[in-house]
Amino acid sequence: MISSKIDAALNKQIDLEGFSSMYYLAMGSWAEVKGYNGVAQFLYHHSDEERTHMLKLFHYINDRGGHAIVPPFAAPQTDFKNIQEIFEIVHSHEIKVSNEINALVELCIQEKDYTTHNFLQWYVTEQIEEESLARQILDKLKLIGEDKGGMYLFDRDLGAMNPQGGGKGKGGH
């Protein structure tokens, strides 16, 4: 049986994962409208992954005797300066998610909830991959700079990443 404290903390994480999904969906829509179809495809896929992360928490909470709640998600930003800004936001947002996962792990240790601690290890590993991928994308964008040809290739290559799972997804689906 899950404690009310862990139940509440995991429900807070549901809110963050769901918001992440909508945030990446908004970014994908912006990119698509601006003609960056590969970036849009990548972000739509990333949005789907975040929803999967949310559902994984839903099922875990309910399976442990808690109650997963659909939160009233905050509306994400919908307008962006450029692709660089989008991926800077993605990177900083993934760091925020990592910090929240780490706080959950710490709470599990304090509460001696080793089952949930074990469950959260998948998220710990996933966040390492998420942060790394965002950092790699930012590095590529720095290399490209203002080169339109480079941005065209970047957009094409990013769109091609999705069939292989966006560069990550070990155990995510």
Bind-site residues for Fe cation: 17, 50, 53, 94, 127
On the CB side of 73, how many CA atoms lie within 13 Å of its CA? 17
Distance CA 168, CA 161 (A): 10
CA pair distance 144, 68, nearest whole angstrom: 43
DSSP secondary structure of 22-59: HHHHHHHHHHHHTT-HHHHHHHHHHHHHHHHHHHHHHH
Binding-site residues, please? 17, 50, 53, 94, 127
Rounded to 10°, the helix 37-63/114-144 angle is 170
